Amino acid sequence: MNIATQFVKYVTVAVLSAASDWAVFATLFAAFGWTIQAQAISRLVGGLVSFGTNKYWSFQSYEHKQALHEAWRFAALFVASYGLSLSLFSVLTHVGTGPYWAKLITDTCCFVFNFLVMRFWVYRPQRSAMRAAKHRIDSGPSHPLLRSGKV
């Protein structure tokens, strides 16, 4: 799948993930007046939505044997993005940016960062799978009758 198609799917998933994130954030902020806690909890919810939907739909990574490997990579990305999110949000609110504007700015920065890391690291095809696919293409049909041209 080309990068443009992946990006469009990623944007769709990001909207779904962001909607769940913002719904949780707004609910916790309205109910309890929490800022950092609401951001922390809402990012976790958005991350769970993002992992499963991006794995199977945006990046079409269907191999179950890679799921644990991808989950670890996603978790590492999530920790980095989570730290970036909370740090940037804290700085912005500390300098007087309102919580909703701070969240919008923070989420936009994380959006771009996350796509690039998911595309090129978390869900990238494994080298052995790419070599196997290239070998199948280069070597032609694998069945002896198909190779002989008698079928």
137: pLDDT strictly greater than 60: no
Q: Give the C-alpha separation, 46 to 30, whole Å.
A: 18
Overall pTM > 0.75? no
pLDDT band at 76 (very low <50, low <70, confident <90, very high): very high
pLDDT tier at 125, thresholds 50, 70, 90: low
Region of 140 please: left (phi>0), alpha (psi -120 to 50) or beta: left
The chain-wide mean pLDDT, for the chain, equals: 84
Mean pLDDT over residues 83-104, rounded? 95
Q: Is the pLDDT of residue 145 over 70?
A: no
Per-residue pLDDT averaged across 83-108, rounded? 95
Burial class for 83, CB neighbours closer than 10 Å (0-12, 13-18, 19+):
exposed
Residue 63 has pLDDT above 60, yes or no: yes
Mean pLDDT of 30-52: 91
